[in-house]
Amino acid sequence: MKSRRNVFVRSIRQDEAQMYFQWATESSINEFDPDVALSDTSTTWCAYDRDGPLAYQTLQQPIFLESLAPRPGITKEQAALALKELTQNAITQAHLRGIKEIYFLGSDKDTDEFASNHIFERVNMPLFRLKVKDLTCG
């Protein structure tokens, strides 16, 4: 019976930073952004086995704007103004917390248009979600 190799996870070590950046920039499976890795609110982790590092991954703490709940019957202009001010609040919160990115998940034509016509950039990547509360034990 072939034994399974153990893989463990730990924080990146300072002497591995150059290797991490080299692997990340050479990898064809991601859109590496060095600013994210260098952010004060990000941490980089290393998966390793007995032969050394296998992979690195940075965890960042962005702000994610959740669903907008407008008052029934408000005008598009009122909704746009509310969304503008709520976005400005998110920017202020990001500055206060040292967070470098804010995400807006579009699901409505009008709010998508608001986001794309203002300061948000469209990210053309699949989005996947894991709800921790839905994980089962054992």
On the question of pLDDT at 1 being above 60, the answer is: no
Chain centroid to CA 121: 14
Q: Using one digit for the tens of pLDDT, what is the confidence trace for 29-71? A: 878 888 888 888 899 999 999 999 999 999 999 999 888 899 9
Please state, in angstroms and rounded to a whole number, the distance separating the CA atoms of residues 97 and 28: 32
- Predicted TM-score (pTM) of this structure: 0.76
Mean pLDDT of 92-110: 87
The domains of the chain are located at 8-59, 63-133
Is pLDDT of 121 > 80? yes
C-alpha to C-alpha distances, 61 to 37, 50, 91, 100, 118, nearest whole angstrom: 11, 30, 14, 8, 23
Cβ pair 100, 41 in contact under 8 A = yes
- Detail the DSSP E strand segments found in the chain: 8-11, 43-49, 52-59, 63-65, 102-104
Residue 138 has pLDDT above 60, yes or no: no
